[in-house]
Structure 1
Amino acid sequence: MKQTKQSNWIKWRWPILIILLLGLYFTPLPYYYSQPGDALVLDDVISVDGASEEAGGSFMLTTIRMGKANPIFYAWAQFSPYRILHPESQLRFEDETDEEYQHRQLMMMTDSQEVAKIVAYEQANKEVSYEYFGVLVTVLIEGMPAIEVLEQGDRIQQVNGESIRTADELIDRLTGYEKGDNVTLTIEREGELMEVTVGFSHFPEEMNAPSDRVGIGIQAPVTDREVTFNPDVHIDTSQIGGPSAGLMFSLEIYDQLTDGNLTKGYLVAGTGTIREDGTVGRIGGAAQKVVAADRAGADYFLAPFEDGADDSNYNEAVLAAEDIGTDMEIIPINRFEEAIEFLESL
């Protein structure tokens, strides 16, 4: 009898084990899991009409891989500082679907690409033409004042009677207020102009904003405009989302617009958002992107310096580089012009 039971266990152990593993794999947890992704060569995905190809060297976009966590990924994350768990509330809005989240990420990537083109073309003194339609409201934050008076799809035209054209201008105009203050917004809704008054409040705790920061409660506003470039430029990044490739997009486009080879034959990776004034901004996952760049053999990694902030992406990247023992050099960057100056000095 004992031998029969043992034989039955041997017979069924693999199917049972497979069923258990499948059960664990398909059990969702309220976390997202991320790990180092890839370093993509940008001259494979960006092309400027009429640009000549220069031999040697490349700019690289660095990514992280992210997905919903399950018990297997949760356990796996405990064995490396570069496999990270993110509470779902830090990344997703309440009741936001997977499709809505992906759409928001792709919208931010699209906006990042446009700004990157503008920065590169203006720096290279190439032709850029604009037609502005306002700042598009895309996300309203639950529990904050804007959700009471604004709707998704509204176009903000003025703040306190002063015209705005870009999302950056809107953010700047809404800075410096305190809780309880009010502003008057002129908006376009379904073809009609109207004025609304909106107040300021603190951000929800789950957004992890600084305790003294206030806002009206809109997130990821988009500059609604038509921009044309001469010569034309094409970017194909498939399903990569988010705004963190702005700096590297700008550098690749600028390199194709100008004479010479800005990389000087080196593999230059990096990360950072880009604003139209050339400011390079903070991103998430800098340490993971250092790992991705090192695996791809990069010589340099450009990281947002954030004017020397103690918790800057640059400092995070330096610590990661030291930890993995890479020979790749980490370069602090505050502005697009600084990146150009560094590369020209190679």
Structure 2
Amino acid sequence: MYYSLPYYVSKPGMAKELAPIIEVENGHGEKGSFMLTTVRMGRANIYSYLEAKFRKYEEIYPIEMILSEDESEEEYQVRQLQLMASSKLNAIEVAYRKAGLPVHYEYKGIYVMQVIPGMPADGKLKAGDRIYQIDGQEFVSSEEFINYISQKGPDEKVTLTFKRSNEEKKVTLSLKPFKDEPNKVGIGITLVDDKDIVVDPKVKVDTEQIGGPSAGLMFALEIYNQLTKEDLTKGYRIAGTGTIDVKGKVGPIGGIEQKIVAADKAGADIFFAPNEEGSKDSNYQEALKTAREIQTKMKIVPVDTFEEAVAYLEKLAEKK
């Protein structure tokens, strides 16, 4: 019954209040709450597969729809956590700039997201390793890291200094041409910047092991609300979802139906859903359909940008 199948199953997760996990130094309080919403996702076994077949708002996905090509489950988890980390950085930048406060970044190195089989890093590096030196040199961006490597030829060696589980390690690798790009050499990793955001007042966002980028909008709203005197919640329980980029644009996510169910169970009054500029099959339209099916009293609000969400809340009357 518990043999793993080549599928993943998703089901409604939780709606979690953000005030306990986001703390702006000397930030302002709120009468209501902002909540992120989650989807529970896991590898299917026979039991969970059959359950999902017959339960509404549970979905079955072939494994190739979840994992990228040659990506292991460990690498998938690292990718999800890194997407969450990037989402937090974007949300902080959007909220602080909206509040008229400066934002700076401190580059620390790169994170290994995936190791390509058959390339020099295979078996030497793993997803989650943080590389901060090459041949004893530090860089100020991942572009500089890539440029340094690309200037070398096949079989030339580079020594990487990296951290794994807070332990410093070194490895020397010989560069090798990529299978699909024989004129390009490398060590065979996909990477993302490791950087800290520097703001005043300081902000702490503790998401533990929650992964993915979909809480970006709600993070930004909670952070901005703590930065400003006016309480945007006005006593309401406000849930929602949507990625956010550094310009405040809200993007679509997966599992909107399950998130509507989770928010309704948590007693949310309002739910922000990505509008996708009015697309007929947008997250917002899917959210409306699910809201009607479960007969929730929760108001579904379409948004394309962080500014739109703030403007909606600013015009909202206080909850009686």
TM-score w.r.t. the length of structure 1 is 0.70
Partner of 1:245: 215
Structure 1 residue aligned with 2:76: 101
The answer to whether residue 91 in structure 2 is matched with residue 77 in structure 1 is: no
For residues 319 and 329 of structure 1, do their structure 2 counterparts lie closer, same or farther at Cα, with a shift above 3 Å needed? same
| Contact kept in structure 2, 1:112 and 1:273, CA below 8 Å | yes
Code of the residue aligned with 2:73 in structure 1: it is D
Aligned ranges 1:133-144 → 2 under 5 Å? 138-139=113-114
Aligned to 1:27: 3
How many angstroms does 1:74 deviate by? Answer: 1.2
Q: 1:256: which partner in 2?
A: 226
Deviation of 1:195 (Å):
5.7
2:21 and 2:307 mapped to 1: Cα distance? 23
CA contact (8 A) 1:108 1:220 kept: no
Partner of 1:64: 39
Q: Name the structure 2 match of 1:192.
A: 148
Higher helix share: 1
Return 5+ residue gaps in structure 1 as ranges. 1-23, 143-151, 156-164, 167-185, 202-217
Alpha-carbon offset, residue 133 of structure 1: 7.7
Superimposed CA distance per residue, residues 203-258 of structure 1 (whole angstroms, 9 cap, x where no aligned partner) = xxxxxxxxxxxxxxx99863444420111101111110000000000000000000
Q: Is 2:115–2:190's contact at 8 Å kept on the other side of the alignment?
A: no
The one-letter amino acid of 2:50's match is A
Q: 1:111 to 1:86 in 2, by over 3 A?
A: same
The CA deviation at 1:80 is: 2.5
State the 1:98 CA deviation. Answer: 2.6
Tell whether the 8 Å contact from 1:108 to 1:243 is kept in structure 2 after alignment. yes
- Aligned residue for 2:271, secondary structure, equals strand
Partner of 1:8: none
Tell me which residue corresponds to 1:304: 274
For the residues of structure 1 that align with 2:60 and 2:190, how far apart are their CA atoms?
23
1:174-228 deviation per Cα after TM superposition (whole angstroms, max 9, x unaligned): xxxxxxxxxxxx6524x836469xxxx9xxxxxxxxxxxxxxxx99863444420
Shift of 1:154: 9.7
Q: TM-score, normalised by structure 2?
A: 0.75
Letter in 2 for 1:31: Y
Q: Is the 8 A contact 1:154 1:188 kept in 2?
A: no
2:26 is equivalent to residue 47 of structure 1: no
Structure 1 counterpart of 2:98, from 115, 123, 145? 123
Give the 3-state SS of the residue equivalent to 2:254 in structure 1: coil
* Counterparts of 1:333 and 1:287, CA distance in 2: 17
**Secondary structure, counterpart of 1:114 in structure 2:** helix
1:284 aligned partner, one-letter code = G
Kindly indicate whether the alpha-carbon contact (under 8 Å) linking 1:187 and 1:195 is maintained by their aligned counterparts in 2.
Answer: no
Aligned-residue offset at 1:94 = 3.7
Rounded to whole Å, the distance in 2 between the matches of 1:274 and 1:229 is: 19
Show the counterpart of 1:319: 289
Distance in 1 of aligned mates of 2:37 and 2:74: 23
**Residue 267 of structure 1 corresponds to which residue in structure 2?**
237
1:95 to partner: Cα distance: 4.0
Structural mapping, 1:148-227, within 5 Å = 188-189=145-146, 192=148, 194=150, 222-227=192-197
Judged with a 3 Å threshold, the aligned counterparts in structure 2 of structure 1 residues 221 and 123 are, in CA distance, closer, same or farther, namely farther
Alignment of 1:273-288 (within 5 A): 273-288=243-258
Give the Cα separation in 1 of the matches to 2:62 and 2:108. 36
Task: Report the Cα offset of residue 81 of structure 1.
Answer: 2.9
Q: Which runs of 5+ in 2 are unaligned?
A: 118-126, 133-140, 153-179, 181-187
Cα distance in 2 for residues equivalent to 1:154 and 1:86: 33
Task: Encode CA deviations 1:269-303: one digit per residue, 9 max, x unaligned.
Answer: 00000000110001000111000000001001000
Q: For 1:291, what is the secondary structure of its paired residue? A: helix
Residue by residue, what CA displacement relative to the aligned partner does 1:24-66 show, whole Å, maximum 9, x if unpaired?
1x21111111110100000011000011323x21000000111
- Note closer, same or farther for the CA distance 1:220–1:300 as it changes in structure 2 (3 Å cut): farther
- Determine whether 1:231 maps to 2:231: no
> Using a 3 Å threshold, how does the CA distance of structure 1 residues 220 and 231 change in structure 2: closer, same or farther?
farther
Which of 105, 110, 116 in structure 1 is aligned with 2:85?
A: 110
Q: 2:9–2:59: 8 Å Cα contact kept in structure 1? A: yes
CA deviations 1:86-119 (Å, max 9, x no partner) are 1111111244333222111111111111111011
